[in-house]
Copies of this chain bind each other. A is one copy, B any other.
Amino acid sequence: MDYQNILEEIQNEIQGSLKKGKLANYIPALEKVNADDFAMSLVTLDNKHYNIGCTEQKFSIQSISKVFTFTLALKRYSKELYKRVGHEPSGDPFNSLAQLEYENGIPRNPFINAGAIVTTDSLLSIYKNNTFEQILKFIQKISNNNSIEYNEEIFKSELNHGFRNIALINLMKSFKNINNNTDKVIETYFKQCSIMMNTKELAQAMLFLANHGINPPTNEVIINELKAKRINSLMLTCGHYDASGDFAYRVGLPGKSGVGGGIVAIIPKKMAICVYSPKLNAYGNSLVGTRALELFSTKTGLSIF
């Protein structure tokens, strides 16, 4: 298929939507972006690259980091972690304090904030004061790019406005589902959210999940096949908060969105995709990004269903 041509068609068709949606505004740092930016990158298992738009433009990966930390944790844990975080969609529109309280501090899945915080806590138990460095190193490795870094201003800004996340971690601590110091965990968590990457790097970083756990450029086993499939399953059922069903319905691909405007998705045995556009829809997912992936799925007929 002529993917480059399809990317160009998509870029044309989404122009009318670039004015829609709203920038994330809970922290000032996230509003300092070009609101009309658009970028989309594909990487195939046989190392072909297709790009359109500002694919060099870095943005904070935010919740996309949850896929990477969960992968890192799954390398070391299995049942111990499953006891602390579930793998069911969180249907609750009220994002999760209520649900977390009803369910005794066990988050529904690793891709809502509470679940990702537990994941980071589990990493802190392994890597101690070195945790963030290990997370960063892991992301650098899977994206074949040692220059990836986090953004201090965004990190600080998250930390100063993260009251709801601090509420989440303290509620879980009261249920004894956080083992480390809450301040350290939350700092590490906000740092991982403020890692800066562009669509090229993110597509590359996701490629091992399209390849049953093996990173194509290096042939390194990042995670075993069963776990890779399970991460994909989780992205499909839980990757987009309470719009996860809608995303599966429209796009039909395992994916994960971040409030910074990025969305990653994979097509098993074929490719990884990343799209970026910072304005969000009502569910907190990139409006144009979601539309672009829906168009991609329709035009190529590629879908897991």
Q: Separation in Å of the A299 CB from the closest CB of chain B?
A: 13
**Given the known A-B contacts A170-B166, A237-B237, A245-B234, are A99 and B91 also in contact in the complex, defined by CB atoms under 8 Å?**
yes
How many residues of A are in contact with the other chain, CB < 8 A?
52
Determine the chain B residues whose CB is within 8 A of the CB of A126 once the complex forms: none
Our pick among B242, B244, B254 for the contact of A305 (Cβ within 8 Å) is B254
CB pair A89–B87 under 8 Å, yes or no, is: no
Determine the chain B residues whose CB is within 8 A of the CB of A166 once the complex forms: 166-167, 170
CB pair B249–A171 under 8 Å, yes or no, is: no
Point out which of A92, A230, A245 has the most chain B C-beta atoms below 10 A from its C-beta: A245
| 27 A-B interface contacts by CB (under 8 A) | A87-B249, A88-B89, A88-B91, A88-B243, A88-B244, A88-B246, A89-B237, A91-B91, A91-B99, A92-B92, A97-B171, A98-B102, A163-B174, A163-B182, A164-B174, A166-B166, A166-B170, A167-B170, A167-B174, A170-B170, A226-B298, A228-B305, A229-B252, A229-B303, A234-B249, A236-B236, A237-B249
CB pair B98–A97 under 8 Å, yes or no, is: yes
Q: Separation in Å of the A271 CB from the closest CB of chain B?
A: 14
Q: How many copies does the complex hold?
A: 4
Q: Separation in Å of the A272 CB from the closest CB of chain B?
A: 14
**Given the known A-B contacts A89-B89, A245-B238, A249-B233, are A167 and B171 also in contact in the complex, defined by CB atoms under 8 Å?**
yes
Determine the chain B residues whose CB is within 8 A of the CB of A254 once the complex forms: 305
Determine the chain B residues whose CB is within 8 A of the CB of A90 once the complex forms: 91
Closest 10 CB pairs of A and B: A91-B91, A98-B98, A88-B245, A89-B89, A163-B174, A167-B170, A232-B305, A167-B171, A229-B305, A164-B174
A275 part of interface (Cβ distance < 8 Å): no
Q: Separation in Å of the A301 CB from the closest CB of chain B?
A: 8
Interface of A is mostly: helix
A residues 230-272 touching B (CB-CB < 8 Å): 230, 232-234, 236-238, 242-246, 248-249, 252, 254, 268
How distant is the Cα of A98 from the Cα of B173 in the complex, in angstroms? 16
How distant is the Cα of A99 from the Cα of B98 in the complex, in angstroms? 7
Residue of B nearest to A231 (CB): B305
How distant is the Cα of A99 from the Cα of B268 in the complex, in angstroms? 34
